[in-house]
A and B are shown apart, each in its own frame.
Chain A
Amino acid sequence: MSEKKIGAYVCSGCGIGDRLDVNQLVNTAKRDGKANEVKDHPFLCSAEGVKLIQDDIDNNGVNRVVIVGCSRRAKTEAFSFENVAITRANIREGVLWVRPDAPEHAETTQEMADDYVRMACAEIKYMGIPSGSGEQDLTRHLLVVGGGISGMTAAIEASKTGYKVELVEKSGELGGMVGKMYKRVPTKNGLQGPVDTGIAAMVAAIEADANITVHLNSTVSKTEGAPGRFDVEIATESGSTNNVRVGAIVQATGFKPYDMSQLPELGAGNADVVDQMGFEALAKAAAGGAIKRPSDGKEVKSVAFVQCAGQRSDKPGHLNYCSGHCCTTSIKQAMYLREQNDATAVVLFDDLRTPGATGEDFYRCGQEKGVTFSKGQVSGVAAANGGLEVKFKDLILNEETAMEADLVVLATGMVANSGPNPYLALDLEAAKAAEDTAQVAVLEKQIEVAPPSILNLQYRQGTDLPHLKHGFNDSHFICFPYETRRTGIYAAGPVRRPMDAHQAVEDATGATLKAIQACENAALGRAAHPRSGDLSYPSFRKEGCTQCKRCTVECPFGAINEDEKGYPQYNEGRCRRCGTCMGACPVRVISFENYSVETVGQQLKAVDMPDEFSEKPRILVLACENDAYPALDMAAAKGNTYNPWTRIIPVRCLGSTNTIWITDALNSGYDGVILLGCQKGDNYQCHFVKGSEIAHIRMSKIDDTLKSLNLEQERVQTYEVSIADIDRIPQILDDMASTIEKIGMSPFKF
Chain B
Amino acid sequence: MSEVIATNQTILVAGGGISGLTAALEAAECGKQVILVEKGPTVGGRVGQLYKYFPKLCFPTCGLEIQLRRLKANKNVRLLTMAEVTGISGEAGNYTASIKLSPRYINENCTACGECGKAVEGEYDDEHNYGMKKRKAAYIPYNLAYPQRYVLDPRAVGTDDGERAKAACKYNAVDLDMQEETLELNVGAVVWATGWKPYPAAKIQPYGYDRYDNVITNVEFERMLDPFGPTGGKIVRPSDGVAPKNIAFIQCAGSRDRNHLKHCSRICCMASLKQTTYVAEQLGDACKSTVYYIDIRAIDRIDDFYQKVQKDPNVSFVKSKVANIVSGSNGNVVLNGVDTEGYNRYANDHDLVVLATGMESTVPQGVFPEGTVINEHGFIDLEESNGAIFGAGCSSDALDVNRAAQNATAAALRAIQVVTKVAAQEG
Residue A406 is within 8 A (CB to CB) of chain B in the complex: no
Cβ-defined contact, B74 with A533, below 8 A: yes
Residue A708 is within 8 A (CB to CB) of chain B in the complex: no
CA distance A482 to B25 in the complex (A): 13
Residue B298 is within 8 A (CB to CB) of chain A in the complex: yes
CA distance A529 to B109 in the complex (A): 30
Cβ-defined contact, A480 with B300, below 8 A: no
CA distance A46 to B172 in the complex (A): 10
Interface residues on A, range: 35 or more
Given contacts A324-B300, A354-B264, A477-B63, contact A638 B405 (CB under 8 A): no
Cβ-defined contact, A517 with B29, below 8 A: yes
Cβ-defined contact, A13 with B171, below 8 A: yes
Nearest CB in chain B: distance from A222 CB, A: 28
CA distance A14 to B266 in the complex (A): 46
Cβ-defined contact, A13 with B73, below 8 A: no
Q: Which residue of B lies closest to A724 (CB)?
A: B59
List B contacts of A76 (CB < 8 A). Answer: 72-73
Cβ-defined contact, B227 with A724, below 8 A: yes
List A contacts of B365 (CB < 8 A). Answer: none
Given contacts A45-B111, A356-B399, A470-B301, contact A723 B62 (CB under 8 A): yes
- Further 12 A-B residue pairs, CB within 8 A, beyond A14-B113, A480-B63: A15-B113, A161-B413, A321-B301, A354-B297, A356-B264, A356-B398, A359-B264, A513-B416, A529-B70, A630-B144, A637-B143, A724-B59
Residue B424 is within 8 A (CB to CB) of chain A in the complex: yes
Cβ-defined contact, B72 with A77, below 8 A: yes
Residue A469 is within 8 A (CB to CB) of chain B in the complex: yes
Nearest CB in chain A: distance from B3 CB, A: 15
Cβ-defined contact, A360 with B262, below 8 A: yes
Cβ-defined contact, B295 with A637, below 8 A: no
CA distance A265 to B297 in the complex (A): 26
Cβ-defined contact, A358 with B143, below 8 A: no
List A contacts of B64 (CB < 8 A). Answer: 479
CA distance A447 to B420 in the complex (A): 45
List A contacts of B264 (CB < 8 A). Answer: 354-357, 359-360
Q: Using an 8 Å CB-CB cutoff, how does the interface string of A666-697 with B read, 1 for contact, 0 for none?
A: 00000000000011000101010000000000
Cβ-defined contact, B70 with A395, below 8 A: no
Cβ-defined contact, A375 with B341, below 8 A: yes
Cβ-defined contact, B59 with A723, below 8 A: yes
Q: Using an 8 Å CB-CB cutoff, how does the interface string of A348-366 with B read, 1 for contact, 0 for none?
A: 0001111111111100000
Nearest CB in chain B: distance from A351 CB, A: 4
Residue B357 is within 8 A (CB to CB) of chain A in the complex: no
Residue A210 is within 8 A (CB to CB) of chain B in the complex: no
CA distance A509 to B410 in the complex (A): 5
Nearest CB in chain B: distance from A138 CB, A: 10
List B contacts of A15 (CB < 8 A). Answer: 113
Q: Which of B56, B65, B67 has the most CB of A within 10 A?
A: B65
CA distance A77 to B402 in the complex (A): 29
List A contacts of B73 (CB < 8 A). Answer: 76, 532-533
Given contacts A517-B26, A532-B70, A626-B66, contact A478 B58 (CB under 8 A): yes
Residue A132 is within 8 A (CB to CB) of chain B in the complex: no
Cβ-defined contact, B30 with A513, below 8 A: yes
List A contacts of B326 (CB < 8 A). Answer: none
CA distance A517 to B403 in the complex (A): 19
Q: Could you say which of A111-119, A297-305, A498-506 contacts chain B?
A: A498-506
Listed from nearest, the 4 A-B pairs whose CB atoms lie closest are A479-B63, A398-B342, A510-B409, A509-B410
Q: Which residue of B lies closest to A308 (CB)?
A: B303
Residue B4 is within 8 A (CB to CB) of chain A in the complex: no
List A contacts of B47 (CB < 8 A). Answer: 479
Residue A446 is within 8 A (CB to CB) of chain B in the complex: no
Cβ-defined contact, B111 with A395, below 8 A: no
Cβ-defined contact, A358 with B56, below 8 A: no
Q: Could you write out 20 A-B pairs with CB less than 8 Å apart?
A: A74-B112, A75-B111, A75-B148, A187-B382, A312-B307, A322-B301, A351-B295, A354-B297, A359-B266, A360-B262, A361-B263, A470-B301, A479-B53, A506-B406, A514-B26, A520-B30, A532-B29, A532-B74, A626-B62, A685-B62
Count CB-based A-B contacts (< 8 Å): 243
Q: Which residue of B lies closest to A679 (CB)?
A: B58
List B contacts of A683 (CB < 8 A). Answer: 56-58
Cβ-defined contact, A314 with B63, below 8 A: no
CA distance A637 to B57 in the complex (A): 25
Cβ-defined contact, B18 with A479, below 8 A: yes
Q: Using an 8 Å CB-CB cutoff, how does the interface string of A458-501 with B read, 1 for contact, 0 for none?
A: 00000000000110101011111110000000000000011100
Residue B128 is within 8 A (CB to CB) of chain A in the complex: no
Cβ-defined contact, B406 with A481, below 8 A: yes
Cβ-defined contact, B397 with A357, below 8 A: yes
CA distance A314 to B307 in the complex (A): 10
Q: Using an 8 Å CB-CB cutoff, how does the interface string of B141-157 with A read, 1 for contact, 0 for none?
A: 00110001000000000
Residue B401 is within 8 A (CB to CB) of chain A in the complex: yes
Nearest CB in chain B: distance from A525 CB, A: 14
Cβ-defined contact, B170 with A357, below 8 A: no
Nearest CB in chain B: distance from A349 CB, A: 8
Q: Which of B18, B112, B299, B382 contacts A353 (CB 8 A)?
A: B299
Cβ-defined contact, A160 with B397, below 8 A: no
Say what secondary structure dominates the interface of chain A.
Answer: loop
Nearest CB in chain B: distance from A693 CB, A: 16
List B contacts of A726 (CB < 8 A). Answer: 143, 227-228
List B contacts of A722 (CB < 8 A). Answer: 58-59, 62
Nearest CB in chain B: distance from A283 CB, A: 25
Residue B187 is within 8 A (CB to CB) of chain A in the complex: no
Given contacts A375-B319, A723-B62, contact A499 B300 (CB under 8 A): yes
Q: Which of A77, A497, A529 contacts B66 (CB 8 A)?
A: A529
Residue B381 is within 8 A (CB to CB) of chain A in the complex: yes
Residue B407 is within 8 A (CB to CB) of chain A in the complex: yes
Cβ-defined contact, A355 with B375, below 8 A: no
CA distance A354 to B26 in the complex (A): 29
List A contacts of B343 (CB < 8 A). Answer: 398
CA distance A520 to B74 in the complex (A): 14
List B contacts of A360 (CB < 8 A). Answer: 256, 262-264
List B contacts of A375 (CB < 8 A). Answer: 319, 341
Residue B304 is within 8 A (CB to CB) of chain A in the complex: yes
Q: Which of A76, A77, A354, A506 has the most CB of B within 10 A?
A: A506
Residue B340 is within 8 A (CB to CB) of chain A in the complex: yes
Cβ-defined contact, B297 with A351, below 8 A: yes
List B contacts of A361 (CB < 8 A). Answer: 262-263
Q: Which of B112, B297, B413, B417 contacts A355 (CB 8 A)?
A: B297
Q: Which residue of B lies closest to A47 (CB)?
A: B109
Nearest CB in chain A: distance from B36 CB, A: 14
Cβ-defined contact, B171 with A727, below 8 A: no
CA distance A627 to B22 in the complex (A): 19
Residue B260 is within 8 A (CB to CB) of chain A in the complex: no
Given contacts A509-B414, A530-B69, contact A352 B303 (CB under 8 A): no
Cβ-defined contact, A351 with B29, below 8 A: no
Q: Which residue of A lies closest to B398 (CB)?
A: A356
Residue B206 is within 8 A (CB to CB) of chain A in the complex: no
List A contacts of B18 (CB < 8 A). Answer: 479
List A contacts of B403 (CB < 8 A). Answer: 481, 503, 506
